[in-house]
A and B are shown apart, each in its own frame.
Chain A
Amino acid sequence: MKDGVSIELQDVWIRFGDFVAVREANVHIDGGSFFSFLGPSGCGKTTILRSVSGFLDPSEGKILIGGKDMAGIGPNKRPTALIFQNLALFPLMKVWENITFSLEVQGVGKAARRKRADELLDMIALTGQGDKLPSELSGGQKQRVAIARALCAEPDVLLLDEPLSALDLKLRQHMRTELRQIQKRVGITFIYITHDQGEALTMSDSIAVMRHGIIDQISDGEAIYDDPATPFVASFVGENNVFRGKVKSIDNGMAVVATNRTGDLRCRIGTAALGNLQTGDDAMVFIRPEALSIAADATDAGNHIKALVINEEFEGLAYHVFLEGDAGKEIKMSITNQGKARETSMNKELVLEFNPEQAIVLPFGELASE
Chain B
Amino acid sequence: MKSNSPLIKIFLGLYLVIFFGYLLGPLVIMSITGFNSNGFPRVAPWECLTFEWFEVLSNDKRIINGITNSFIVGIGTVILSVVMGLAGSLVLIQIWPKLRSTYYTIVIAPILIPGVVLGISTLVFWDRINVMLGFSSDSFLHNGIFQTILGQSTFIASYCMLVFVARLQRFDTGLTEAALDLGATNAQAFRKILLPFLRPAIASAAVLAFLASFENYNTTTFTFGKFPTLTIELAQKVRYGINPSISVLAFIIVALTIIGALSFEIYQRRKQLALANGAPVGSVSGNFQLPKFMRGNPASIVLLLVALGGFSSIWFANVYSPDACKVEVREQKRLIQQEQIEAIKQQQLLRQQEEAQQGPDIFSPDNSLVPKTDSEPATQGGGSFGNVFAPQNLDEAGPESDAKEDAGGSEASTTNSGNSTFGNVFDPSNLDQ
A interface residues with partner B (beta carbon < 8 Å): 53-55, 74-76, 80-82, 84, 86, 88, 90-92, 101-102, 104-106, 136, 149-150, 153
B296 at interface (Cβ–Cβ under 8 A)?
no
B253 at interface (Cβ–Cβ under 8 A)?
no
B128 at interface (Cβ–Cβ under 8 A)?
no
The answer to whether A105 touches B278 (Cβ under 8 A) is: no
**Which of the residues A74, A80, A82, A104 comes within 8 Å of B178, measured between beta carbons?**
A82
B179 at interface (Cβ–Cβ under 8 A)?
yes
User: In the complex, what residues of B have CB within 8 A of residue A55's CB?
Assistant: 177, 180-181
**Which of the residues B172, B177, B192 comes within 8 Å of A105, measured between beta carbons?**
B192
The answer to whether B278 touches A104 (Cβ under 8 A) is: no
The answer to whether B182 touches A81 (Cβ under 8 A) is: yes
User: In the complex, what residues of A have CB within 8 A of residue B184's CB?
Assistant: 76, 101, 105
Chain A residue nearest to B196 in the complex (CB)? A92
- The 9 residue pairs across chains A and B that have the minimum distance between CB atoms: A88-B178, A102-B182, A88-B174, A105-B184, A75-B180, A76-B180, A82-B181, A105-B188, A92-B196
Chain A residue nearest to B178 in the complex (CB)? A88
The answer to whether B174 touches A86 (Cβ under 8 A) is: yes
Shortest Cβ distance from residue A273 to the other chain B in the assembled complex, whole angstroms: 41
The answer to whether B175 touches A88 (Cβ under 8 A) is: yes
A contact face: mostly helix, strand, loop, or mixed: mixed
B interface residues with partner A (beta carbon < 8 Å): 172, 174-175, 177-185, 188, 192-193, 196-197, 278
Could you jot down 21 A-B contacts, CB within 8 Å?
A55-B180, A76-B181, A76-B183, A76-B184, A82-B177, A82-B178, A84-B174, A84-B177, A86-B172, A88-B175, A88-B178, A90-B175, A90-B178, A102-B182, A104-B192, A105-B179, A105-B183, A105-B184, A106-B183, A149-B182, A150-B182
Roughly how many angstroms separate A84 CA and B183 CA in the complex, as a whole number?
15
Roughly how many angstroms separate A101 CA and B179 CA in the complex, as a whole number?
8
The winner among A55, A86, A101, A105 for most chain B CB atoms within 10 A is: A105
Chain A residue nearest to B199 in the complex (CB)? A92
**Which of the residues A76, A82, A90 comes within 8 Å of B193, measured between beta carbons?**
A90
User: In the complex, what residues of A have CB within 8 A of residue B177's CB?
Assistant: 55, 75, 82, 84, 88
User: In the complex, what residues of B have CB within 8 A of residue A136's CB?
Assistant: 278
Chain A residue nearest to B175 in the complex (CB)? A88
- Are A76 and B185 also in contact (CB < 8 A) when A90-B193, A104-B192, A105-B192 are? yes
Roughly how many angstroms separate A55 CA and B196 CA in the complex, as a whole number?
23
The answer to whether A153 touches B178 (Cβ under 8 A) is: no
User: In the complex, what residues of B have CB within 8 A of residue A106's CB?
Assistant: 183
The winner among A53, A54, A104, A150 for most chain B CB atoms within 10 A is: A104
Chain A residue nearest to B197 in the complex (CB)? A92
Shortest Cβ distance from residue B112 to the other chain A in the assembled complex, whole angstroms: 35
The winner among B180, B185, B197, B278 for most chain A CB atoms within 10 A is: B180
The answer to whether B181 touches A80 (Cβ under 8 A) is: yes
User: In the complex, what residues of B have CB within 8 A of residue A91's CB?
Assistant: 175
The answer to whether B181 touches A81 (Cβ under 8 A) is: yes
Roughly how many angstroms separate A105 CA and B196 CA in the complex, as a whole number?
15
Chain A residue nearest to B174 in the complex (CB)? A88
Chain B residue nearest to A85 in the complex (CB)? B174
Shortest Cβ distance from residue B175 to the other chain A in the assembled complex, whole angstroms: 5
Roughly how many angstroms separate A86 CA and B175 CA in the complex, as a whole number?
10
Roughly how many angstroms separate A91 CA and B174 CA in the complex, as a whole number?
12
Roughly how many angstroms separate A368 CA and B112 CA in the complex, as a whole number?
56
User: In the complex, what residues of B have CB within 8 A of residue A102's CB?
Assistant: 182-183
User: In the complex, what residues of B have CB within 8 A of residue A149's CB?
Assistant: 182
User: In the complex, what residues of A have CB within 8 A of residue B180's CB?
Assistant: 55, 74-76
Roughly how many angstroms separate A82 CA and B182 CA in the complex, as a whole number?
8
Roughly how many angstroms separate A75 CA and B192 CA in the complex, as a whole number?
17
Roughly how many angstroms separate A76 CA and B193 CA in the complex, as a whole number?
15
The answer to whether B175 touches A105 (Cβ under 8 A) is: no
Shortest Cβ distance from residue A83 to the other chain B in the assembled complex, whole angstroms: 9
User: In the complex, what residues of B have CB within 8 A of residue A101's CB?
Assistant: 179, 182, 184, 192
Told that A55-B180, A74-B180, A82-B178 touch, could you supply 7 new A-B pairs with CB distance under 8 A?
Answer: A86-B172, A86-B174, A88-B172, A88-B174, A105-B184, A105-B185, A153-B183
User: In the complex, what residues of A have CB within 8 A of residue B196's CB?
Assistant: 92
The answer to whether A53 touches B181 (Cβ under 8 A) is: yes
User: In the complex, what residues of B have CB within 8 A of residue A92's CB?
Assistant: 196-197
Roughly how many angstroms separate A182 CA and B278 CA in the complex, as a whole number?
32
Chain B residue nearest to A97 in the complex (CB)? B192
Chain B residue nearest to A104 in the complex (CB)? B192
Roughly how many angstroms separate A110 CA and B77 CA in the complex, as a whole number?
37
Roughly how many angstroms separate A158 CA and B212 CA in the complex, as a whole number?
50
User: In the complex, what residues of B have CB within 8 A of residue A88's CB?
Assistant: 172, 174-175, 177-178
Roughly how many angstroms separate A80 CA and B183 CA in the complex, as a whole number?
10
The winner among A86, A90, A102, A149 for most chain B CB atoms within 10 A is: A90
